[in-house]
Amino acid sequence: MPPDLERKNLVDSSEGLEADSVSSGNAIKSTSIPLGRSIRLLISSSLLGNGSVCTQSLRGIKATFTIGMDDAYDYSILEGMDPDDLHAEFKTYVADVAKFLKTSVSKENTLDQYFTDMLARMVFNSNMIENAGGGYDITFKLCKEVFDGNVVEDIIERHPDYEAHKRDLVRKNLPTGMDAVLRSRREIVQHAKATSYIFQSICIKGNDLTEEIILETHRILAHKVNTEDGTSWTQYAGVYRQCPVMAGLHQYMDHGRVPSAMKTMIRDLETDIQAAVETGEIDPVALAAKYCHIFVNIHPFLDGNGRMCRLILNAILLKYGGGLVCIGEDGKDRDEYEKIAVSASFKEASHQDDDYEGVPESMKPKPYKELASFTLRHARNNMRKVFHRHRS
């Protein structure tokens, strides 16, 4: 989706289930279970081994879904790869991973670390899309601390991490003063805390995605991080925007429509999940891409919408498909993602002027088809990595 308020000079610097968590601006205090382990336990318990998933659907009621394929994919953007084949492979790997996790007791610690690393890469890549945060090494270090339930404090110049943050800022051609160092660090730490909060809430505790969870996730993400134009975090963190926003030449919906649009988004998500409950079939990739797209085109916050939409995408995909995607793996992947995002936003804007009242949902345009295909490729690749790296 279109990136957060744009930062200049982007360069590539990369090449038990009920664990309680209490969110605050300064920390997420976990009782004991690291997030990577919680994710492994969640996937192990929810994937059934036959291409099905058992999860809490609406209002905490458990439901079992067969993973099926929606008609929400673009067949022209994957350089010769067929979404039908990718989806079949994804479903096969879901079944293979389910069987593997249930018989891999000796590899539990290795798997826990693997999922922790994957979450850290997800944060790093998402930050790179926005030219936020820091380099690979410091991001992984700080994310691991957060995901393991440790408190990560701000730093002073004598702190061992200070020079690492400063070097990363130099590589990005960004200011290197104390304020810039603190901002870089907070963009990593708060992103990791926001990840922990939304995954704990939606996936591990099984809550429905709500406006309240979205607002709290954003409040954590933006804590002590002012916007590039100097707006204080106290004015926009966890608050729907009160002004127009643009990305390039594209202007998002009027801020007066944001509250009702968010309510509609949540209501539509519940409707889609209820329909899946009734049919017993769900496409977690298409569902995740759809609501990632809807959210970012509402663009409800002054800043942080890109990172938020990717958190929502991953939370839905993990809950209903047992998968994660690390979008923005390198410069090429980021460029492809951003082109898809821009295209989808313009398609969304062009459809808003059309009257689809009374038109069946299946007949309405799906501007997120390219994003769904892009996400599917990542979901297949990541599920394949989980299986092949640890089965031997």
Question: Quick one: pLDDT at residue 17?
Answer: 36
Mean pLDDT of 53-68: 93
* pLDDT of 8 over the 80 cut: no
Give the C-alpha separation, 125 to 136, whole Å: 9
Q: What is the pLDDT of residue 65?
A: 97
pLDDT at 128: 97
Whole-number pLDDT of residue 354: 59
| Catalytic, out of 299, 351, 378, 388 | 299
How many percent of the chain have pLDDT more than 70? Answer: 89
Q: Would you state the CATH architecture of domain 21-353+367-390?
A: Orthogonal Bundle (1.10)
For residue range 208-244, list pLDDT tens digits in order.
Answer: 999 999 999 999 999 999 998 899 999 999 999 999 9
Residue 392: its pLDDT value, please? 62
**307 labeled part of a ligand binding site:** yes
> Which of 295, 309, 218, 293 lies closest to 263 in space, CA to CA?
295
Please tell me the total number of residues recorded for the chain in this structure: 392
Alpha-carbon distance values, 18 to 38, 64, 77 (Å): 8, 20, 40
| Mean pLDDT on 105-122 | 93
104-118, 204-218, 283-297: lowest mean pLDDT where?
Answer: 104-118
pLDDT single digits (tens) 357-385: 667 766 788 999 999 999 999 999 999 99
The secondary structure element, H or E, covering residue 204 is none
Confidence of residue 18 (pLDDT cuts 50, 70, 90): very low
Residue type present at position 381: N
pLDDT for the residue 258: 98
CA distances from 299 to 206, 247, 251, 379 (A): 25, 10, 10, 25
With beta carbons less than 8 A apart as the criterion, state whether 283 and 71 touch.
no
The 8-class DSSP code of residue 361 comes to: G
59 secondary structure, DSSP code: T
- The residue type at 75: Y
C-alpha to C-alpha distance for 213 and 219, rounded to whole angstroms: 10
Tokens encoding 169: 């800022």
Do residues 204 and 42 lie in contact, with contact meaning Cβ atoms separated by under 8 Å? yes
Residue 10, pLDDT score: 34
Q: Look at residue 14 and tell me whether its pLDDT is greater than 90.
A: no
Rounded distance between C-alpha atoms, residue 236 and residue 288, angstroms? 26
CB 218 within 8 A of CB 299: no
Distance CA 320, CA 134 (A): 31
Q: Is 241 annotated as a binding residue?
A: no
69 among annotated binding-site residues: no
Does residue 80 have a known ligand-binding role?
no
Distance in angstroms (rounded) separating the CA atoms of residues 245 and 317: 28
* Helical residues (DSSP H) of the chain, grouped into ranges: 35-46, 83-101, 108-129, 136-147, 162-171, 178-198, 211-221, 233-236, 258-279, 284-298, 305-321, 331-352, 369-390
According to DSSP, the β-strands at 281-282 and 62-67 are parallel
**CA–CA gap between residue 36 and residue 118 (Å, rounded):** 9
pLDDT digits (tens, 9 = 90+) for 145-195: 999 999 998 988 889 899 999 999 999 999 999 999 999 999 999 999 999
Catalytic residue status for 299: yes
Q: Is 309 marked within a binding site? A: yes
In the numeric block, the tokens 């106290």 are attached to: 234
**22 — pLDDT class (breaks 50, 70, 90):** very low
